[in-house]
Structure 1
């Protein structure tokens, strides 16, 4: 803690003095930052604990099949221009993602929420969930377009989703219905800011998926780096000293220590908490690392012989939310009806729901997901052959699915989360105004690189401000 230097001191040095850069983490942010720095002539090494690149972009493929299960990021909204542009640079084909809702019949009947119930206020009974929301956020939407990003955060980040709806006169029954139908019941206590970000954009309307699997994006980025990415190197210690920075890693062969002039750290904060930090980490940074809230997410895919859900859903696919433990089912577009096997994202859960699924064994996840799915699609259980799942809260190198701030955390923690410390700059979706999205990771990488490059304009502001 005694070796604290200012950001201005760090970046006022001539560029040739900061040529060796270590990038911690080979997720999207790390790979993009490494590629940009290498293109500007820096000597870059990427250290990744896993035996794969991609981080929370994680595609699992069934043996002997072209079926791909997206355990992490699975869609790219059309207006996420940086991500779309990256896919174009790599020659990746984007296909429509089945974003549409296929109905909320289960959401109502299985939750006990009845629109005719006296628990709803008079104005609520004549409107569905979406109409209530749109009426409620009219003034907030105006703020979204007229205020600066900082002003908007200061005004609205103090409230949770539940707190905001209560402040606008919603009944408890209407809030319950909103949580179920919009797939947010387990996150109603988190900041309403993320809800505004996503509903005021087209994130869930027009989106793409990558033909062949989402992991083709990080794999393509890694291919351009060639031998710069070292897998199987788990960061154990970061020492920011007077003459440079040292990063100690654990590998299958033992400890390996790397020395560099700068570090770009993209490790999720729950993972960074397990690293021994020596040197210029300010109290504000340490507080952000300790306190920033990460949400849990668990996905359970079922392998089926036939897509029996086609009768109720249709070939275009889509999603449905429910109060049942599976919470949300994502139906793929049936492009190949003649395929001999099909994968269905039978259960997608967040927050407390996801933690409960994480506590189950693979066989128990398959059994419960099949049971709940059978209620919506009678006879589907006879088609189930197996399952594949992933719980991000139990992932050693993620310890959570994405940053999802509690009320006030974006306002109080983001500046410290992003601010460089000594010779270390930070990137990742948690260091952006679009947490939980690939676009946020890409944006943060561009911001980190802009801090390092000597041509950064005087007084330039990073995009999170």
Structure 2
């Protein structure tokens, strides 16, 4: 087996400050629940981040949410603002507030900035262990910033993966998913609706549907079908023209943090609202913008508690589980995809999505993604080294299958 010489394995599901990758809708959840949570509370508390955006799970959504929260704070007359979290939502809010003359302090629990973006160094190159792509590139504000800064980007064409399936030729995944979207009964819970649709299909069509759901829905949301809302089908994911940053998201994050008052290593425990303003761990301000991911929101005491409608909306959100492995080899031994994008359809699902970073970073490096129940199957009781070698084994199985197609 080809063994990596270096690796990095993420464990976002174990991270106390995130609890997962991004917020997905549970059964019964609607996009309206996300938007309700973005509404200011008494002019003193505003929740911001990708979870509270109509296009969740993306860095530019967090960025837009942070900017929106800053506008709400300024419209409410706030001049002293505490921002909790130095991810992209927090940095966006802080920069917009400072630009308008407000006094801002950012409190960050980690000993680094960036939140769920995290560029790591591996064998002399940089790679993103968290968010990696500038998605929906043409309408992405962070992409415009990257262009202004002259940062190198590499396009990924998700519509043209070099794909392989463990049990034979790859079926028409796009058609299987499109057919599902056309015919699924949206009045039912998602898992029940999938079973009903699958019952109308031939064995070959059911095989194609299973692969389509694994790759296009479960891998995107990070939750199994039993824990996903039907509304998840309406939420946008990847798009044509998406690009990644060979130098890592750190380039954007470091630029955005310049000039801001950021206090690292400060995990917020308590947010109190009263007629005189807001106090965060005893620090007084006019308003607090909280960008803590929903997976860690329960670590904060809100006094008084969040209103019932906010708590109900939060009950329909959960952190999707998506993890990444970055593998670096002596040479690029795997088949090269013209798009840089690879798909592996296995049963049960494991490392199903890969991005070949080799051309972008100048070293034989590849990043794999795994999601939902597969995270538990692959990670439980294993060291990072064991996980890295297991992922490399799956990459080799994919490569052998691709070669078998001739």
Corresponding residue of 2:83: 23
Corresponding residue of 1:40: 100
Corresponding residue of 1:130: 174
> Pick from 139, 142, 148: which aligns with 1:83?
142
Aligned residues: 325
User: Matches of 1:18 and 1:319 in 2, distance apart?
Assistant: 48
Corresponding residue of 1:143: none
Deviates more, 1:100-109 or 1:357-366: 100-109
Corresponding residue of 1:68: 127
> Is the aligned partner of 1:197 residue 2:238?
no
1:165-211 C-alpha deviation (Å, 9 max, x unpaired): 73586535453232245363763331343333337xxx343211124
Q: Counterparts in 2 of 1:242-391, with a 5 A limit?
A: 242-248=275-281, 257-279=282-304, 281-309=306-334, 312-314=335-337, 316-323=339-346, 326-332=350-356, 334-335=358-359, 339=362, 341-345=363-367, 347-359=368-380, 360-377=382-399
Measure how far apart 1:16 and its partner are: 9.2
Q: Counterparts in 2 of 1:195-234, with a 5 A limit?
A: 195-198=233-236, 203-223=238-258, 226-234=259-267
RMSD: 3.4
> Pick from 193, 201, 215: which aligns with 1:163?
193
Q: 1:33 to 1:134 in 2, by over 3 A?
A: same
User: How high is the TM-score relative to the length of structure 2?
Assistant: 0.69
What's the secondary structure of 1:285's corresponding residue? helix
Q: 1:230 to 1:183 in 2, by over 3 A?
A: same
> Is the aligned partner of 1:178 residue 2:212?
yes
User: Matches of 2:230 and 2:391 in 1, distance apart?
Assistant: 30
Listed as ranges, the gaps of 5+ residues in structure 2 are 1-38, 45-71, 401-406
Measure how far apart 1:320 and its partner are: 1.0
What's the secondary structure of 1:238's corresponding residue? strand
1:259-298 C-alpha deviation (Å, 9 max, x unpaired): 1010011111221111111125212223334442211111
Listed as ranges, the gaps of 5+ residues in structure 1 are 1-5, 116-126, 141-154, 249-256, 379-465
Q: Is the 8 A contact 1:303 1:344 kept in 2?
A: yes
Which has the larger Rg? 1
Deviates more, 1:298-307 or 1:208-217: 208-217
What's the secondary structure of 2:90's corresponding residue? helix
Q: Is the 8 A contact 1:157 1:191 kept in 2?
A: no
What's the secondary structure of 2:177's corresponding residue? helix
What's the secondary structure of 2:142's corresponding residue? helix
User: Matches of 1:58 and 1:218 in 2, distance apart?
Assistant: 9
What's the secondary structure of 2:369's corresponding residue? strand
Runs (4+) of structure 1 exceeding 4 A deviation are 6-9, 11-17, 155-159, 167-170
Q: Is the 8 A contact 1:90 1:220 kept in 2?
A: no
Q: 1:174 to 1:93 in 2, by over 3 A?
A: closer
